[in-house]
A and B are shown apart, each in its own frame.
Chain A
Amino acid sequence: MKRIMMIAAGIIIMATLTTVLAKDTTMSVQIRKGSLRTTPTFLGSVVGNVEYGEKLIIDETRGEWLKATSQSSHRMGWIHNSAVTKKDIKMQAGDKTAEVAASSGELALAGKGFNSDVEAAFKSKNADIDFTWVDKMEKIKIEPEAMLEFIRKGLIAPKAGAK
């Protein structure tokens, strides 16, 4: 009985530590463009935008949402955890970069592997493959106001607090 309680206590402590550790952790933005919002929901108004590789200091965690401050703009707001990574995203790879980060094992090299150069090479090898409509469809972005109106009028009811 005492053993079970010790294990349970251990698990609770570990879970707490995980939450506490998240505060003041530095994360990198892993998407092209993201937003810091006033509330932990995609319909919350935008405090500021963040870009690929930008460093954020985590202040608070609430479910899948993180409250963070941008190291560069100093703006603070909520961002979904799928937009960020613990990996240190290096935008400019120098020769020393890989060695230094290899010791922590937490490096992501932006623009390495499959990147815009590879796409360009792919295009020249495959002249019959056309990216025109791929570029066009990528530009279709519905504004939050339009989404809110759509939701309101259609009596769709996203659950409060969830996403």
Chain B
Amino acid sequence: MRNIIILAALATSFIIAGCKTLETVTNIGTSLGVATGTISAQQAESINKTSTAVGKTFEEITPEQEYYIGRAVAATILKTYKPMDNDELNNYLNTIGQILAAASDKPETFGGYHFLVLNTDEINAFAAPGGLIFVSRGLLRCCKNEDAVAAVLAHEVGHVQYGHGLQAIKKSRLTSALTVLAAEGAKNFGGEQLAELTTAFEGSIGDITATMVNNGYARKFESQSDEAAVTILKRVGYNPSALKDMLEEMDKLSHPGQGFAKTHPAPKDRINDIQNLISSAGPVIEPNERMARFSKVQPSI
């Protein structure tokens, strides 16, 4: 009974407080608790300490938590799209992708960056938190050379780098998870607490996939990823003009309201946003070996 009252006080305080940090909110909650006689000053002290530690653990989603969120998002995407079971193609993508990830501003994630081709004609790509990245056959068919493939992958790495997927999680999911953690502290979770955390987890996965697959990111996020892509391509030594080439190609081949066209800003707008960054780069000229190995995997795309 006491615990319920404490939890209610905490939850209420959180809602009232709005933007306040967990630490401030918990202090309000426990003050309420002490004032109404439901908890002793000592218990209040204990809860305050626990919430501070645990709040900081959760407010800033750790790489480990990002990893588990990303796995579930990836598995959910694979409910809709079939994986392409082609080792040569997937290895090619992972080689380029992992080189690009190493050149990004977030090269290390808990489980690392891994890439997989989706067996669909739809033009689309998805980057799950933590670095599990999918690219469709339809999108790869828009690529005329390896630099274009690199541009696509670099853009997706950009989404992971900026944590765009995680930012889609509604605050209310984390609030309910926080309430569970605050009550339990450092002890292992019982069945009830695990159930509550799992519900918050499911909600978080739902929020992310709804954004990625249905609604799309804000234009700001897409231009952030495009900028990151240009930076990464330059660092690795690919030609950033390839991103512009890709956007122009996607513009030609896309159908309104389908695939990436449903979830991304118009290619023309995206090209405008990065124009300054790529103006000094000339057209893409592919060295022989690069063109050769791209041509080798092209038939299987």
Interface residues of A (CB under 8 A from B): 30-32, 34, 42, 52, 80, 82-83, 93-95, 97-99, 101-103, 105-119, 121-122, 125-126, 128-131, 133-134, 136-138, 140-142, 146-147, 150-151, 153-159, 162-163
Q: Choose the segment among B28-36, B73-81, B214-222 that binds chain A (4+ C-beta atoms closer than 8 Å).
A: B73-81
- B65 on the interface (CB 8 Å rule)? yes
A118 CA to B28 CA in the complex, in Å?
Answer: 30
Which residues of the other chain, A, contact B105 by a CB distance below 8 angstroms?
Answer: 82
Q: 13 new A-B pairs (CB below 8 Å) besides A114-B201, A118-B198, A119-B71?
A: A98-B186, A107-B56, A113-B58, A113-B61, A113-B197, A114-B197, A118-B197, A121-B195, A138-B111, A141-B98, A142-B91, A156-B236, A157-B237
B76 in contact with A129 (CB, 8 Å): yes
Tell whether, in the assembled complex, residue B72 and residue A119 are in contact, meaning their CB atoms are under 8 Å apart: yes
Of B12-20, B263-271, B273-281, B285-293, the one contacting chain A is B285-293
Main SS of the interface on chain B? helix
Interface window among B3-11, B45-53, B248-256: B45-53
Interface pair B201/A154, CB less than 8 Å apart? no
B residues less than 8 Å from A159 (CB atoms)? 235, 237
Query: B103 contacts which of A133, A136, A163 (Cβ < 8 Å)?
Result: A163
* Contact A158 B235, beta carbon cutoff 8 Å: yes
Task: Name the B residues within 8 Å of A150 (CB-CB).
Answer: 95-96, 99
B contact set with A: CB distance below 8 Å = 46, 48-50, 52-54, 56-58, 61-65, 67-69, 71-72, 74-76, 78-79, 83, 90-91, 94-96, 98-99, 102-112, 114-116, 132, 146, 177, 181, 185-189, 194-195, 197-198, 201-202, 204-205, 235-238, 287, 289-290, 293
Chain B residues whose CB sits within 8 angstroms of the CB of A130 once the complex forms = 75, 78-79
**B64 and A30 contacting across the interface, CB-CB below 8 Å:** yes
* Residues of chain B contacted by A52 (CB below 8 angstroms): 64, 110
Report whether A101 and B75 are in contact in the complex, using a CB–CB cutoff of 8 Å. no
Contacts of B56 in A (CB 8 A): 105-108
Contact A101 B114 (CB under 8 A): no
Q: Are B75 and A134 in contact (CB under 8 A)?
A: yes
Q: List 6 A-B pairs, minimum CB-CB distance, nearest first.
A: A102-B49, A157-B237, A42-B102, A98-B186, A93-B186, A83-B108
Do residues B98 and A142 form an inter-chain contact, with CB atoms below 8 A?
yes
With contacts A31-B110, A117-B189, A137-B132 taken as known, whether A108 is within 8 angstroms of B72 at the C-beta atoms is: no
Contact B72 A122 (CB under 8 A): yes
A126 to B52, CA, bound (A): 33
Q: What is the bound-complex CA distance between A31 and B76, given in angstroms?
A: 23
Contact of A34 among B75, B90, B108, B198 (CB under 8 A): B108
Smallest Cβ distance from A136 to chain B, in angstroms? 8
Q: Give min CB distance, A121 to chain B, whole Å.
A: 4
Assess A107 versus B57: contact at CB under 8 Å? Given A102-B49, A134-B71, A147-B99: yes
> Which chain B positions have C-beta within 8 A of A158?
99, 103, 235-237
